[in-house]
Structures are given as C-alpha cells and as structure tokens.
Structure 1
Amino acid sequence: MMGAAAELDAAGITEAALRRDYAHSRALHARHGRTYYLATRVLPAGRRPAVHALYGFARWVDDMVDEPEAGQTAEHTAALLDGVERDLEAALSGGRAQAPPVRALADTARRYAIPAEYFTAFMRSMRLDLTVTGYADYAELSDYTYGSAAVIGLQVLPVLGTVVPRSEAEPHAAALGTAFQLTNFLRDLAEDLDRGRVYLPADVLAHHGVDRELLLRCRRTRLQDTRVRRALAEVAAFNRAVYREAEPGCAMLSAVARPCVETALRLYRGILDEIEQAEYDVWSRRHRVARSHRARTAVPALGRALMARAFGT
C-alpha cells in the first residue's frame, strides 16, 4: 500500500511542516475510522490527504467531547472547543493555526473551496453534546445530525468530484453521512448511555414502551428486552431508508471516486446487517464487519478504481 509520503507527493503538498500536519490527520483517521479509512484506500492517492484531513479533524474534535481527560469538566471541554473555533477561524481567514489538524483542514478547505459554514455547523453539533442528553423526535435529531454527519458528506464531496452539477449530488452526500451516523447510534447505544446520552428519538422509544431506565437496565445486565428490540428495529428500518436515499449519489460521483464511496456504503450498511442478524442485541458486544467481509468488499472496489484510473475517468 502507498505510504503517507507518496500520497502527499501525489497531492502536490510539498511544504515540510504542512506534510507533518497531514500525516498527523492521516494517523487520526487510521486509528479512529477503520471502515472509512479502508474505503479511502480505494481513492486515487492524490485525493486521500484531503479526506484524511477532513475525517482526522472531525475525530480529533469528537474525542475532545467524548473522551475527556479524567476530572475534566464540561466547562473545560467548552473552553477547548472555543480554542478550536478561534484557531479554525484564523486558519480559514488565511492566518496560522496552532493545532496540526486545523492546519491540514484549512489547507484542504482552501484547495477544494469547501464552505466555512460546514465547519461551523459541525462545531455547533459538538457543543450540543455538552448539554443535550436526548432528542424528542427525528426533527430534533436531524438538527444534530446535520452538523455531526451530513456536513461531513458535503465537505468530502468537492474532493471526490462529480459528473453532475454538485448541487444535484449534495442531498445524497448529506444523506449518506446521516445514514452512517444513524448506524453508529444503534451500534454505540450502550457506550452513549455511559456518557449520559441517547441518540434515538424519544417518541419512537416511547411508542414501544421504552424509556431511559429500561435502556440502562439492558446496559447493566447486558440482556435484550423485547420492547427495546422492537424500538431498535424501527430505527433500523428508518436507517435503511436513509441509505436508499443516499445510494443514487454514488453514480453521480467521478468514476475514480465512486468505488470508494460504494465501499464505505457497503461496509457500513454491513454493520447494520450485523445488528439485525443479532436481533438488535447491542448490549453484549460491539458490532463490526468481519475482516474477511471487509476484504471481499474492498478488493473488487480497488479493481474498479484501477480500471477507472486507467481509462482516465
């Protein structure tokens, strides 16, 4: 596999300090986003650093919120986010940022003309995690997922390139980011409860007789409850509908980028398959796509990507 230096060469990133910033983001992406990272390997080398910068920044900020140091208060985390926003604003305005993930992100934003408002929306959703512990319905949840997930799809779209006007592909890119996030919400329900949060609509849960106390009992005992299973099945059905909304966007991408997104979609939807096959037991284990299935999905995609590159599409 091509290393970080070769990818940076292919992207035309030559300045030594900036190359270190991108390498830092690449490491963040590889460590925290294994499914996304594997899919990125299918992209042409010159486009990979930008995707690493976007996902690396997102993981870095998300970890500030979700993995605070021992004894760190919400006020302290809010102050850290304040610092990130000041750094980001300076960098996007042409100044020098302090943090490597911000410097790589700002360079990518300039290279691909990614609107600053996408990053503002992302930071707003990260702040919601400091105070909001639940969502009444899908409308409330979609306000959060727009910033936490949909804008990630919108950020990546200029890097991938399209064969249609970008505005035509944008709703599908946003939907795919949301679909990935909804799968995360199902898979990580137990872990999110440990952080005091529930990312499933309260009205859907209540319709099946589920409240936070019942979820906490399932978490504590690692045993499924019929009511919870029915509620999660309803959310999973909604999640599948969002994947269907996203899927037509794959054909709208440039041919060299299409296999990457198709791989990510299949792998992430595979996590949802695993959850369903386990009858929505998200308590006794964390669901992930088997390594053998990842290989079976990624290898054909790599072949399609190489063909697309060979024919210059």
Structure 2
Amino acid sequence: MPGIAGAPQHVLAAGITRAASRQSYLTIRWLADPRYRADAFALYAWFRWLDDMVDERLPGGGSRLAFVARQRRLLALATDGAPLPDARDGAWAPVTPEEGLLVRLGAAGAALGVDGEPLLGSLGAMLDVMELDVRRRGRPVTQRELDEYTRLLAVAVTEALHHCIGHGCPSPHDDTRYAAVTGAHVAHMLRDLVEDLDAGYVNVPAEVLDEPGASLADLHAPAMRAWVRDRVELARACFAVGRQYLERVEDPRCRVAGHAYTARFEWVLDAIEADGYRLRAGYPERATLRGGLRIAADAARSLLASDAVGPRQAPRALAVAR
C-alpha cells in the first residue's frame, strides 16, 4: 500500500504543511516521488502536529507522556494490521484526523516490508524525540542527552527524506548518513535557544553552565559566546561531512533536497557569526524575500562544491551524528 489513499487525508496533510512551511511544501511538490508525495505531506504534517501538541497545547508532563504513549499504541496497531479501539474502549478517545495520518503511514510502512523500514524508523524516532522533549522540559540536561536528542531527530528526518525522495535508490548506510541533519539540528537549537528557554527547554548542557562565567541570565557573556562558537563550528563540520554523503546518494532529487535543507540552516550560522556569537531572540531575516534568495543561492553553491573537513572537526561531527 504505497502512499496514502484518500483525498481528504491528502488535503489535510498538504494544508498543514503549507501553513507551517512554504519551503517544505514546495520542496515536496517539486522533489518528492509522485508515488510517495502524499506520504511526504503526511509525515511533515504529523510531525508538525505532534510537536505543537507537546510544546503548546497539552497542559502538563503527565498528559504529554500519555499523548506520546497513545501515538506509539496507534503506530503499533497500524503496523500489526490490528483494528483500532473505538470510544467504547474505556479512556480511548476517537482517532483524530491528524492521528489518521499516522495510522495510514504505519500501515503503508508495514505493507512495504523491508522497503518500508525507513518510513517506520522515521516515525518511531520522532516519537522518541517527543518523549525526550517531555522529559527534559523544565530541567537541566547533559550534553549526552542533547546529543541523543539530536541523533534521534536526524534519524527521523533523514529516513523520511529517503522514503519520499528517490525511494529505493542506493544511499550510504555509514557514519555519514545523518551528518547533514545533525548539523541542521545543532543550528536549529542555537536559533531557537532564547525562545525555547521561555517554553522551559534548556538547550545548553549542564556541564557548560557549570563553567565560570557561563550563565543563562547572560547569553552574551564570553563563556557563553565561546560555547556558541564551538557549536557553530560543529554544525559546519557536520554540513561538510553531510555534503560528502550527499555526493554518494544516487538520486539527484534527493541530493538537491539535502543541499537545500543544509543551506536553510547554514544561513542561520552566518547570522550568528555576524553577531559575534551573541544569540538573539529571533532571526526574522530568513523569512524575507532577500533571505529566501540567499538560501536558494547557498543551496546552489552547496550542490556544486563539497567543503573540506578539518582533521579535528570531522571525528566530532561523525561522533554526534552516530
């Protein structure tokens, strides 16, 4: 059962995607395999809805964990081909339209057999990301926890990409596979660090905060700026390794999508560097026409050239991406 059957589901998924990210919507329209385009919209839409539910709509840790557990149960039932419980099943509420996207994706992945493993791996990894998000909210976290968070997110995004764009075409399954998305997530965490603090997420590891001069109350202090600079360098090293990976991906549309994704976050790194590694509350320039043209130009340059990776940076990038 490749793809998602049913126009209402497709319309829902495409609408959520377009409202959340015009760039993602256009990338899917232009680059996704026609046979798996509906899956691409459903993956993005369900990821977006899942994140919004956990971050903004549910009132406490208990309800958030219960919500993630419910999604896991739905996925397990869908992959097993088991009937879904109905409202008569005690506390089981009816399946929402957004959850219907997950159910159909799970059934599609199971029907594809081995060929559906990237899709099911993506769904499972995203649920792991959400559970980690719930458990780390409002408390200090270690670098190991943040690295695991980034690794799971990289698995979810990378496997979704390979399922929907150039499905079945050869691609490396080595330490470089998740490097590009790892770099993107490191940049993403820096971009949203100030905003995430207000929501209760601390994206600075406890080990750094224990250093003299490091404080969340003063993100522009020298110690914090040094840490931001280190993360920027790590993200750039991940992007360089990721480009080398993309050169070995057979499908040209998948390569284009990967370079466009990288360029979107390299622009953030450029802005952070221009600010002297002082993080801001927001980076609105990326939403302007000029910002969009800059991202497009960077994506083209990324596609035409592969950056060299320094001898110190490459092992660090691969270690985080594993």
Same fold (TM over 0.5): yes
Distance 1:154 1:267, change over 3 A: same
Deviates more, 1:150-159 or 1:284-293: 284-293
- State whether structure 2 residue 15 is matched by structure 1 residue 64: no
**Which position in structure 2 is the counterpart of 1:236?**
232
Give 1:76-155 correspondences, 5 Å limit. 76-95=63-82, 98=95, 99-106=99-106, 108-109=108-109, 110-111=111-112, 113-115=116-118, 116-132=120-136, 133-137=139-143, 139-155=144-160
Q: TM-score, normalised by structure 2?
A: 0.74
The partner residue of 1:250 within 246, 249, 257 is 246
Distance 1:259 1:151 in 2: 19
Deviation for aligned residue 1:77: 1.5
Distance 1:39 1:278 in 2: 30
Give 1:262-281 correspondences, 5 Å limit. 262-281=259-278
Read off the aligned partner of 1:21 and give its amino acid letter: Q
Distance 1:165 1:282 in 2: 39
Aligned alpha-carbon RMSD (Å): 3.2
Read off the aligned partner of 2:60 and give its amino acid letter: T
Distance 1:80 1:43, change over 3 A: same
- State whether structure 2 residue 164 is matched by structure 1 residue 159: yes
Distance 1:150 1:75, change over 3 A: same
Asked if structure 2 preserves the Cα contact closer than 8 Å seen for 1:169 and 1:249, the reply is: no
Asked if structure 2 preserves the Cα contact closer than 8 Å seen for 1:36 and 1:264, the reply is: no
Distance 1:134 1:51, change over 3 A: farther
Asked if structure 2 preserves the Cα contact closer than 8 Å seen for 1:176 and 1:243, the reply is: yes
The partner residue of 2:13 within 22, 25, 29 is 25
Q: TM-score, normalised by structure 1?
A: 0.76
Residue deviations 1:150-202, cap 9 Å, x none? 33212321332389743x25643422222221111100001211122212333
What are structure 2's unaligned runs of at least 5 residues? 85-94, 304-322
What are structure 1's unaligned runs of at least 5 residues? 1-10, 219-223, 306-313
Q: How many residues are treated as equivalent by the alignment?
A: 279
Distance 1:230 1:297, change over 3 A: closer
Distance 2:165 2:201 in 1: 33
Distance 1:296 1:187, change over 3 A: closer
Asked if structure 1 preserves the Cα contact closer than 8 Å seen for 2:4 and 2:39, the reply is: no
Distance 2:81 2:44 in 1: 21
**Which position in structure 1 is the counterpart of 2:87?**
none
Asked if structure 1 preserves the Cα contact closer than 8 Å seen for 2:180 and 2:242, the reply is: yes
Deviates more, 1:81-90 or 1:44-53: 44-53
The partner residue of 2:43 within 35, 54, 61 is 54
